[in-house]
Structure 1
Amino acid sequence: MNKPIYVLGTGLSHNGSAVLLKDGKVCVAIEKERLSRIKHDGGNDYLAIQYCLDAENIKLSDIDLVVQCANFEIPERNQYKGKRIFANTDFPKIVNISHHLAHAYSAVGTASFNECNVVVIDGCGSPLDQFLQLHPEHKHLIQPDIIKETKMQCEKDSFYYFNGQKLIPLWKDFSVMSPFSEKNLSTPTTKHSIGGFYASVSKYVFGDMQDVGKLMGLAPYGTSGVYKVDAFEFKESRLFIHHTWQYHFDKPSKGYSYFKKHFSYYANVAKWAQEQVEKAVLECIQYRTNSYPSQNLCYSGGVALNAVANSKLLDLKLVDNIYFEPAAGDNGLALGCAFYGWLEHLNKPKTYHNGNTCFGKSYTDQEIEKAISNESIHFKKLENELDLLHYCAKQLQNGKTIAWFQSGSEFGPRALGRRSILAHPGIKGLKDHINKNIKFREDFRPFAPAILKDKVTEYFKYGRNSPYMILVDKTKPEHVEDLLNVTHYDGSSRVQTVEETWNPMFHKLITEFYNVSGIPMVLNTSLNKKGTPIVETPKEAIKLFKETAIDILIIENYLIETKLQ
């Protein structure tokens, strides 16, 4: 029997992660923040790599190739913000690639099609000097005025063609960095990036840039047309920001109470910013796809997490098929590194990927019971799966909240039914209760419906297939009242269509809830509270259960309930 070929990808930017391929397929992957418990953690990759090795039960010596990516520098083998796992070894070989190339390979490695174009749009990629050091053969793609610029420049949008084996760069754009400033409207990264613009408005509205997704959640409360200024323009095939837009906004947030007092103002700002981003994304991708036609498109980079813009891109019907990479942010860099190693460096054929994005390790009964006993809480083990599913479905129908912990954790920013908090989608007051007493976050933040895939057209206008909660739809008017906890202020809903193939237990639970309640969906939000990563281990799930107002905790087939305390 031939020894498996293992390729390790590691991302060392913020939102660091590690991914292990076995013969071209993902066997385990983890984001560093899930282990360190520090949100958006990056830098040193020892912890994440060791997790992958332990989960697969192999040693570093079993790894055939390592591919890494970090912004602004090429990490040394022995040290990078601490001792690395490769210190004092000459094997395995380590290859370095650029930021956008990693984003692009993360998409093509998991997409269902073999031939496609790939667009990457984010806030800031690799500096030009580093890019040319890593990929000198691509210098001809860079426009002369970019090469002549003496200031530091970084990737901001890239376009590639994937021929089934390798990515061929077609277009790359760079932007100079913004000068450092404490001003709330200072673009935090590159001066002309869509991601940088969105982050700067997020800081203006909320006082921070760590959770830019909140801006998309606030935008539906705003009114279109309040601000007439445009933030972006296309000029000679390149996208630029008009920085004069900053002069129209002079009331930065001074904290949450100030934000609440001026809620309508900030909602209007968020609405304007969201619409500006949508316009820029659509114009940029439309221009590129018209220049380089293909019937399939992959989309990655942090801006690809904007579910509203994604849906509008889909509606343009520029191509036959669009794949939105579910780990489109920097947490997906390690995934792209690993697939680059397999496809381009080792020249191995692409393997079939079934759409699964849950790559964490599973926990044994022994590990679960140890975590429970250490916390001195009572539990019940339900040996019969049907009994477990029926009990949970009935409790959801009765308005209880359930922390749902099953199998290997999701890779990426969305909880998809492996590390989730679940509730009834229509019982009045539950949305506010979860935001206030479980998530401890702002009351305007929306929740998503997780619906059986074959029922989505009955409840939502467009009936999009959206397994990664990365697209929005409109709740049909006749169902808004029944789905008030998962329908946003403007009637929109960020839908998750649940796949039986790679999410069987979650699919079974929703099916049982449908049998009990007549509703083929549940409210689904991530198993964490504001400011903390999604839980990874049974111990962390129990800790969260004890700290919040969650009614029931299910870890595999173990039941922990408030009344059992």
Structure 2
Amino acid sequence: MTYVLGISAFYHDSAAALLKNGEIVSAVQEERFSRIKNDSGFPVNAIEWILSNSKISMADINHVIFYEKPFNKFERLLETCIRFAPKGYELFSQALPMWLKEKLFQKLELRRRLSALPGGSEWNHSILFSEHHLSHAAAAFYSSPFESAAIITIDGVGEWATTTISIAHGGRIERLKELRFPHSFGLLYSTITAFLGFKVNSGEYKVMGLAPYGRPIYAEKIKNNLIEIKPDGSFRLRMKYFGFASRLKMYTPALAKLFGIEARHPEGPLESVHMDIAASLQSVTDELFLGLSRYARELTGQENLCLAGGVALNCVSTGRILRSKIFDKLWIQPAAGDAGSALGAAQAGYYLYCKKPRVPCQDYMPYLGPCIDHDIALRQLEQLSAKYSIIPDETIFESIADALAKGKIVAWVQGRAEFSPRALGNRSILADPRVKDLKKSLNLKIKFRESFRPFAPVILAEEANNWFDMVESSPHMNFTVQANDGVDQITPSVIHVDGSARLQTVSIANNERLYRLIHEFQNLTACPMLVNTSFNVRGEPMVLSTEDAFNCFMNTGIDMLVIGNIVLDKYQQDGSKYKKYNFALD
């Protein structure tokens, strides 16, 4: 028996994942337990749950794999500060004390933390370090259904690499090309994100959602000034516009001069110029992704492509790649960002360090987190003085579908939590997509977020082609597709301003309970889809526990909460024992 524990931590989106003889057993982000959005701390709660859930302790763990190499990252920091001296002194003076205190001796810190866990005194102390982009690549390929593939990873920066192209066959991964810091498309995207007044490592998806409202009139200005994109998809940033390599700010004053406006203040008004900049950035992102994909196909000769890294969560660009047919098949790790690197680190350790034969992964399921136990949920709801009923499977799907058809907003908590930044039907808020003004009310009264933000549809897989211009299934909500003619008139709350939708397809095989609910909704309405958005509010992680779910339910305009077969109606609650939210900005 071989147990491998993967860890990502100390930057953002900390997580842990467990393999048992190569099989993925569990994976979860620390933020779900700590309730701190994008928690960067050591994932102690995630690891404790993983060990408990598998009924093992640290004594059973053969290897712990950390997702990157801290010394290599420190080397990059020092070289960057020297290269950009004297401007780099500001960054150096701020970062060096933190590195000396917390990060340079991470192996000792990891050993100390892990030894304090159950069974830690008997643990063998085997800690290995993967490389950041290798962890991304491993999470993408080993979780895919492919025997061989090209792999593109693209994010902000790991140790040195910012973009890589690799080839994988069987159990091996070979890196063929890489781009190095400071030339990073992820950091370009984050720089524009910051300039538009959104939070780095959190608000990039807002820029993607804002883009369809604008015109790409600054695309050529971005390509002529900020970034030089070469025919093979490689690129170079022109550093006079960027501050991340030498100071504690993403952009320099030159960026404001280039666009002819000052940077937007967070929570300030969104004007057409901001939308145009977002649209232009998205246009350049599409071009870059397509160029990289063409070059990766030529370089590797592979028919299949795997994508990972935070930029791979840009479902507009990945949709463009899918429709381009540059590759025959495309697979994207649902947890493509740094959280998913905990899984990738474990897989890299198992296959590349332990040299184990590859365990086939024909049908990757992202439901790898905790499940809420029925009896425990009932006890906790009693403690919260909640009023509830229990509805058996024979009638619950029809009952909830009827409530949705009557305009109720339903929080749907079923089975194991998703290992993904996107709710995929187990920690979701669901609603009727036919309601005309639902998008506004969901954003402002339930999610408490910006009004421009779109909502995604989840549709029965066999119906998808009747409603959308589909290329293939999309169970992990990784692509945007165009709605067929007239669909925006029937289901206006899930079609974006440009006629697109970030679609999730659901089948009995990948989520039986959600499938049955939508099927009953279709029987009542002739509409085979629902609105699906994550069960959380702005600035909060997705709910994990019964208490999380009840608090979110009571703080928002959600009408019904369903936890397994337990159903709560908002208007039956006395509202005395829930935690009042102080909403955080994200």
Please, what TM-score do these two structures have when normalized by structure 1?
0.88
* Residue in structure 1 matching 2:364, options 343, 355, 359: 355
Change (3 A) 1:381 1:279: same
Structure 1 SS opposite 2:176: strand
Please, what TM-score do these two structures have when normalized by structure 2?
0.85
Higher mean alpha-carbon deviation, 414-423 vs 365-374, is at 365-374
- Output the CA distance in 2 between the equivalents of 1:395 and 1:423: 9
Name 1:173's counterpart in structure 2: 179
Deviation at 1:255, TM superposition (A): 3.5
Preserved contact between residue 18 and residue 49 of structure 1 (Cα < 8 Å): yes
Letter in structure 1 aligned against 2:343: L
1:65 equivalenced with 2:60 (yes/no): no
1:194 equivalenced with 2:202 (yes/no): no
Q: Which digits, 9 at most, give the CA deviation of each residue in 1:499-527, with x for residues without a partner? A: 32131111111111111111111000000
Deviation at 1:233, TM superposition (A): 2.0
**Following superposition of structure 1 onto structure 2, how do residues 71-90 of structure 1 map, counting pairs within 5 Å?**
72=73, 76-80=106-110, 83-85=113-115
Structure 2 SS opposite 1:360: strand
Name 1:240's counterpart in structure 2: 236
Name 1:524's counterpart in structure 2: 532
* Residue in structure 2 matching 1:553, options 558, 561, 583: 561
Q: Which digits, 9 at most, give the CA deviation of each residue in 1:435-464, with x for residues without a partner? A: 111100000000000001111000012354
Consecutive unaligned residues in structure 2, runs of 5 or more = 74-102, 242-254, 574-586
Name 2:4's counterpart in structure 1: 7
1:223 equivalenced with 2:198 (yes/no): no
Higher mean alpha-carbon deviation, 507-516 vs 484-493, is at 507-516
Name 1:563's counterpart in structure 2: 571
- Output the CA distance in 2 between the equivalents of 1:321 and 1:74: 41
1:119 equivalenced with 2:152 (yes/no): yes
Preserved contact between residue 217 and residue 445 of structure 1 (Cα < 8 Å): yes
Letter in structure 2 aligned against 1:259: P
Deviation at 1:5, TM superposition (A): 2.3
Preserved contact between residue 18 and residue 26 of structure 2 (Cα < 8 Å): yes
Deviation at 1:76, TM superposition (A): 3.5
Letter in structure 1 aligned against 2:127: I
**Following superposition of structure 1 onto structure 2, how do residues 121-200 of structure 1 map, counting pairs within 5 Å?**
121-126=154-159, 154-175=160-181, 191-200=182-191
Deviation at 1:51, TM superposition (A): 1.4
- Output the CA distance in 1 between the equivalents of 2:434 and 2:137: 39
1:379 equivalenced with 2:388 (yes/no): yes
* Residue in structure 2 matching 1:34, options 32, 35, 39: 32
1:252 equivalenced with 2:263 (yes/no): yes
- Output the CA distance in 2 between the equivalents of 1:85 and 1:431: 48
Q: Which digits, 9 at most, give the CA deviation of each residue in 1:373-401, with x for residues without a partner? A: 1211101011x213110111001101100
- Output the CA distance in 1 between the equivalents of 2:487 and 2:347: 42
- Output the CA distance in 2 between the equivalents of 1:53 and 1:98: 25
Name 1:455's counterpart in structure 2: 463
Deviation at 1:285, TM superposition (A): 2.6
- Output the CA distance in 1 between the equivalents of 2:105 and 2:280: 39
1:203 equivalenced with 2:194 (yes/no): yes
Letter in structure 2 aligned against 1:380: S
Structure 2 SS opposite 1:265: helix
- Output the CA distance in 1 between the equivalents of 2:235 and 2:323: 22
- Output the CA distance in 2 between the equivalents of 1:496 and 1:225: 31
Preserved contact between residue 225 and residue 272 of structure 1 (Cα < 8 Å): yes
Give % identity: 31
Preserved contact between residue 429 and residue 533 of structure 2 (Cα < 8 Å): yes
Change (3 A) 1:18 1:227: closer
Letter in structure 1 aligned against 2:235: L
Letter in structure 2 aligned against 1:473: V
* Residue in structure 2 matching 1:435, options 431, 443, 462: 443
Deviation at 1:284, TM superposition (A): 2.2
Letter in structure 2 aligned against 1:112: P
Deviation at 1:341, TM superposition (A): 2.0
Preserved contact between residue 464 and residue 473 of structure 1 (Cα < 8 Å): no
Deviation at 1:235, TM superposition (A): 4.8
Deviation at 1:333, TM superposition (A): 0.6
Consecutive unaligned residues in structure 1, runs of 5 or more = 127-153, 176-190
Q: Which digits, 9 at most, give the CA deviation of each residue in 1:254-292, with x for residues without a partner? A: 232x323xx211111100111111112221232232122
**Following superposition of structure 1 onto structure 2, how do residues 319-338 of structure 1 map, counting pairs within 5 Å?**
319-338=327-346
Deviation at 1:46, TM superposition (A): 1.9
Q: Which digits, 9 at most, give the CA deviation of each residue in 1:68-117, with x for residues without a partner? A: 12453576444259834467665141111110000000011210011111
1:367 equivalenced with 2:376 (yes/no): yes
Preserved contact between residue 232 and residue 276 of structure 1 (Cα < 8 Å): no
Letter in structure 2 aligned against 1:312: R
Deviation at 1:429, TM superposition (A): 1.7
- Output the CA distance in 1 between the equivalents of 2:287 and 2:494: 26
Name 2:85's counterpart in structure 1: none
Preserved contact between residue 397 and residue 513 of structure 1 (Cα < 8 Å): yes
- Output the CA distance in 1 between the equivalents of 2:219 and 2:107: 50
Letter in structure 2 aligned against 1:293: G
- Output the CA distance in 2 between the equivalents of 1:81 and 1:377: 43
Deviation at 1:232, TM superposition (A): 2.7
Deviation at 1:244, TM superposition (A): 6.5
**Following superposition of structure 1 onto structure 2, how do residues 381-530 of structure 1 map, counting pairs within 5 Å?**
381-382=390-391, 384-530=392-538
Preserved contact between residue 355 and residue 502 of structure 1 (Cα < 8 Å): no
Structure 1 SS opposite 2:165: strand
Preserved contact between residue 58 and residue 122 of structure 2 (Cα < 8 Å): no
Structure 2 SS opposite 1:386: helix
Higher mean alpha-carbon deviation, 350-359 vs 323-332, is at 350-359
Name 1:184's counterpart in structure 2: none
Structure 2 SS opposite 1:534: coil
